[in-house]
Chains A and B, each alone.
Chain A
């Protein structure tokens, strides 16, 4: 059996930051297992930037206030405080590690505006910040010689007596399953955007595998009903255009040519928080002021020079995928699923209810984003809590003996995958995936009615049954992406159910969860976290308290 002290699952920003941290500490054997080569991770698609109070007139307390207000007060303020306090040092650490941030005239880091922020505090690398940070961190793991199991798909965690003992993973290249013993496992597998297949900014690989594995291992998923819809995604394929477009001064226009955000977030205009901007767009479209199901993002007035210096990716993506050159024409955009505020419940060191099991980044819910994440806080979240999880795990494994786990887990996963390969029936995994995406986009979107949510719960449960009759056609061992697709769809359906059940239960509107039958926030009954445990026949919901330290809930106006 393969053995490591700490195994990190996922090699995006959270996982790599954890790996670099452990790579610097003596006497610990660390490895990364990722279903993708690290540089293929979806962190690389993040565009706009990373928040930190860097300028002399900014303070981490202000960053914290903006984040808490943006979260609609359901974030845990001790966690938000940690993130915002540690942000400047983390950004300087990245700069020292090589990231080529854009610069101001005096050679310091350039800062741009972003949504929901009281002042500019977003450091950036053109509009490929995620790419730049992902490459920097991967470079640092190479420098430290961290072992990476590339293109290994983790199928299950090994947990006995509420303590993690390792995991089982499929080496996709050979088709062989391996049980890996580990004293600690850090889940850093990112989001589940593909649950909204066809209507998400997320990559094909964002299938929530880590969340689903932790959920199956008995860890609660928190606040899964809070799903972020980004206001500027392309209609053709759902690709993201950065909020930096509006941060640099871009407009949102309706079919009448009006900057309609003046009606919704008048003090911030286009730089309102994402939940509010997405709602505004849907209202404009529904009331007949849309353009072919979209609104228009107009950056023409910024001029070609500024677009090429600060927003080249927007131009490239618009030209490739919408046939529009934003130097000369406005770009049709609409809200699309973008980010999971919910995830594996952790404390501020990434610790879960299972001993030795940690989670960080989008797959975790610490919670620093509450019901609505502010733009440019997600990269920060991955780094701060990736590092903190690693630091905590380092101390934890010192006192844990090498785990002894039976190999029955390996046998079980071999049986499970063999059964998938032997499955018969007339259903199709691709068809089920497409139906799931449409169901969630149509009925678990920006606005939600009880009928829609009930419909989603029923439809997802039906798909969970149907997938049992969807055979894996590729019977080969080597590089079987049909089999990994089958593993992914099971994970996604599990999460889709948790999202839908959690949303139906939360009878209020808060942040990104917006119900037409309960249009107001209800702090008396709902200022709390949803905790979904896996039970027989579906998730069992419990609720937990929200940590409030500095900022009492107020009405959220911009």
Chain B
């Protein structure tokens, strides 16, 4: 397949502004977007900068914007995204660019840390000698949200994150639900308090972008609505 990669390049040591550069490539019909980037780095310009590691859609390194939509470049077939023989690759939005396609994710991780992203069992009760019992159905339900790879695709696609740097964003909120919904967790009240303000769940406009672009089927929109439901039930004094 003949395809032209148009890549948004930016070298902070040389460029005042980002600019597009084009690379005509010949790639296998089953090639993924990352194959094109690797070919450019290997044989055209080894300064081209991007993150990639597992190339099997699990490490979360290589999320980028491809033809105006977020994708993991390692698992996105070129044939799915190519338009008029061209693929436009840009860094994730809503995060500062370091160089070319690599963004500084500190803002994203700060929000990850803000939601207490760890299980808090009830310290007042002794832990069981073996495992906590849990229904497989419950475990499977939470696995959907635990399956988040923190790639940042949702954060880049979110129109709220675009305008409000303090919005917790879809990934962190989905992570919050993963723990708030865990029967082993004892901190649900505190978790709901963290997420239920104007920087949290109530700021979500239910646009569904995050759910549409998520490469792992996490559905942050669903998680955010569950957190809202739990918050309202608590407010009415109903069991949560």
Contacts and interface: CB of A to CB of B under 8 A. Distances in A.
Contacts of A140: 118
Contact of A105 (B57, B61, B102, B136): B136
A143 B187 CA distance: 14
A90 to B, nearest CB: 12
A101 B131 contact: yes
A106 interface: yes
Contact of B98 (A132, A143, A479): A479
Interface stretch (B17-25, B139-147, B197-205, B231-239): B139-147
B124 interface: no
B131 to A, nearest CB: 5
B228 interface: no
Given A95-B131, A108-B131, A479-B98, A316 B43 contact: no
A140 B120 CA distance: 10
Interface in A130-181: 131-132, 135, 139-140, 142-143, 173
Dominant secondary structure at the B interface = loop
B131 A109 contact: yes
A476 B147 CA distance: 36
B52 A478 contact: no
A143 B118 contact: yes
A142 B120 CA distance: 13
A40 B46 contact: no
Nearest to B11: A476
A428 B46 CA distance: 10
Interface stretch (A41-49, A208-216, A347-355, A363-371): A41-49
Given A110-B136, A482-B47, A44 B118 contact: no
A97 B58 CA distance: 21
A203 B53 CA distance: 5
A473 B54 contact: no
B139 A40 contact: no
Interface stretch (A233-241, A449-457, A530-538): A233-241
A317 interface: yes
A263 B121 CA distance: 51
Interface in B103-117: 104-105, 109, 112-113, 116-117
Contacts of B30: 236, 321, 323
Contacts of B32: 320-321
Given A95-B131, A107-B135, A39 B59 contact: yes
B1 to A, nearest CB: 14
Contacts of B132: 95-96
Contacts of B77: 320
Contacts of B13: 476-478
A98 interface: yes
Nearest to A126: B143
Interface string A303-324: 0000001000100110011010
A464 B57 CA distance: 32
Most chain B CB within a 10 A radius of its CB, from A98, A125, A140: A98
B207 interface: no
A257 B78 CA distance: 33
A317 B56 contact: yes
Nearest to B28: A236
A203 B131 contact: no
A428 B185 CA distance: 53
Contact of B55 (A126, A204, A479, A480): A204
A205 interface: yes
Contact of B59 (A45, A173, A428, A478): A45
A478 B98 contact: yes
B121 A39 contact: no
B146 A320 contact: no
Contact of B147 (A96, A97, A128, A321): A128
A40 B63 CA distance: 12
Contacts of B139: 100-103
B46 A473 contact: yes
A476 B11 CA distance: 9
Nearest to B184: A98
User: What is the size category of the interface that chain B forms with chain A?
Assistant: 35 or more
A5 B218 CA distance: 39
Interface string A92-123: 10011110111111111110000000000000
A126 B75 CA distance: 20
A474 interface: yes
Contacts of A142: 112-113, 117-118
A165 to B, nearest CB: 30
A434 B41 CA distance: 13
Interface string B201-240: 0000000000000000000000000000000000000000
Contacts of B11: 476, 478
A12 to B, nearest CB: 11
A316 B30 CA distance: 15
Contacts of B121: 96
B16 interface: no
B46 A39 contact: no
B146 A45 contact: no
B56 A430 contact: no
Contacts of B149: 39, 44, 131
B49 interface: yes
A126 B141 CA distance: 12
B103 to A, nearest CB: 11
Given A320-B77, A482-B46, A102 B136 contact: yes
Nearest to B61: A40
B59 A239 contact: no
Nearest to A476: B13
A240 B56 contact: yes
A36 interface: yes
A482 to B, nearest CB: 5
Given A96-B121, A309-B140, A474-B47, A430 B55 contact: no
B118 A320 contact: no
Nearest to A434: B42
B117 A430 contact: no
15 contacts: A36-B59, A37-B105, A44-B54, A96-B131, A97-B118, A107-B133, A131-B149, A204-B55, A320-B57, A320-B75, A321-B75, A430-B41, A430-B43, A473-B46, A474-B49
Given A142-B113, A204-B52, A477-B13, 5 more contacts: A98-B119, A237-B55, A320-B77, A473-B47, A479-B49
